[in-house]
Structure 1
Amino acid sequence: MPRSMMFATEMCWMMSADISTGWSDGTYRPLQSVKRDAMAAFLQRYDAKF
């Protein structure tokens, strides 16, 4: 993703920490709402790592 993209630093960290995998097409969409199941997956992965 371009460094100029909103929240690029945060999304790169989530990707490198294996907390987020992005959308099925490999993109990240910082302005898209996060659904409950996706947030639950983020939190579970974060809790398992840290």
Structure 2
Amino acid sequence: KRGIVPIFFYYNIKIKRLSNKSDYKKLRLFKIIKKVLLINYELRLLNTI
């Protein structure tokens, strides 16, 4: 549904920390803009990601 707020996990992006233990498992909540495929969604991300 449009407007659902999913949690974006970090394993799809590169983070510049030395250890994975200190990385955040879940970055934050993002809004869904549109549904692209059955399980793929376009999200509204921040400019810094």
Q: Same fold (TM over 0.5)?
A: no
Q: Could you say which structure has the higher helix fraction?
A: 1
Q: Could you say which structure has the higher strand fraction?
A: 2
Larger RCO, structure (CA 8 Å, separation 6 or more) = 2
Larger Rg: 2
